[in-house]
Homo-oligomer: A and B are copies of this chain.
Amino acid sequence: MKLYGFFRSSAAFRVRIALNLKGVAYAQQAVHLLRDGGEQHRLEFRRINPQGLVPVLVDGGVTLTQSLAIIEYLEETHPEPALLPDDAPGRARVRSLALVVACEIHPLNNPKVLKYLGGTHQLDEAARTAWYRHWIAEGMAAIEARLAGEKETGAFCHGDRPGIADCFLVPQIFNAKRYHCELAPYPTVMGVFGRCMAVDAFERAAPMKQPDAEG
């Protein structure tokens, strides 16, 4: 398989974790989101994903976009080890936790949104940082409340094996750290994060471990 991504893209990071957890071999093709106005806008990449977003996973003749759809595809085509539990309520819980990250935090903080806020709406850097931290704090508080309060939480988001919710949570914490967000209010989240980062599949997927990493 071939993964088009960017070391710092948290959506690509999610997919790298899932590929590593499942032991699927993949080659990486870096798409530098910031260089020269963004390589994702080049015609060459637009032919692969007209939306100009990473990650894109190419599996033979199949081109896949949107990180959750990609990971669900991997779950269906490479079922072991499972990243979703067996029971429908558990599967819904894991997906809903992933979606808090995917729908309530990440879309508000991605580079195209920050750029639009800075350009069209003339929010300065301090205001953009406040915006960024606001959505991290609101989303992480929701995840903390759930992980701390729901009996299905284990060493990881759901039980004692890493799964899809962890694939989404960990990259979001990396983003939060990069923006120096306060993380002490989320001890359950940070406990899960620490246990994930002790797992090779997560550690190898980290931004600074990627071939295209920049300091």
Chain A contact residues, CB within 8 Å of chain B: 50-51, 62, 64-66, 68-70, 72-73, 76-77, 88-89, 91-93, 95-96, 99-100, 102-104, 106-108, 113, 116, 120-121, 123, 127, 130-131, 134, 142, 145-146, 149
**Which residue of the partner chain, among B68, B88, B103, B134, contacts A77 with CB atoms under 8 Å?**
B88
Q: How far does the Cβ of A97 sit from chain B's closest Cβ, in whole Å?
A: 8
- Taking A92-B73, A134-B120, A142-B50 as contacts, is the C-beta distance between A103 and B106 under 8 angstroms? yes
**Which residue of the partner chain, among B88, B104, B142, contacts A76 with CB atoms under 8 Å?**
B88
7 A-B Cβ contacts within 8 A? Answer: A66-B103, A72-B92, A72-B95, A73-B88, A73-B92, A76-B88, A103-B103
Q: How far does the Cβ of A112 sit from chain B's closest Cβ, in whole Å?
A: 8
**Which residue of the partner chain, among B95, B103, B121, B134, contacts A123 with CB atoms under 8 Å?**
B121
- Taking A51-B100, A96-B66, A121-B127 as contacts, is the C-beta distance between A91 and B72 under 8 angstroms? yes
15 other contacts beyond A77-B88, A120-B131, with CB at 8 A cut-off? A51-B145, A62-B92, A66-B95, A66-B96, A66-B100, A68-B68, A69-B99, A72-B91, A72-B92, A76-B88, A99-B102, A102-B102, A102-B103, A103-B107, A121-B123
Do the beta carbons of A108 and B106 come within 8 Å of each other?
A: no
A11 closest partner in B (C-beta):
B103
Q: How far does the Cβ of A51 sit from chain B's closest Cβ, in whole Å?
A: 4
Q: How far does the Cβ of A185 sit from chain B's closest Cβ, in whole Å?
A: 15
Q: How far does the Cβ of A22 sit from chain B's closest Cβ, in whole Å?
A: 14
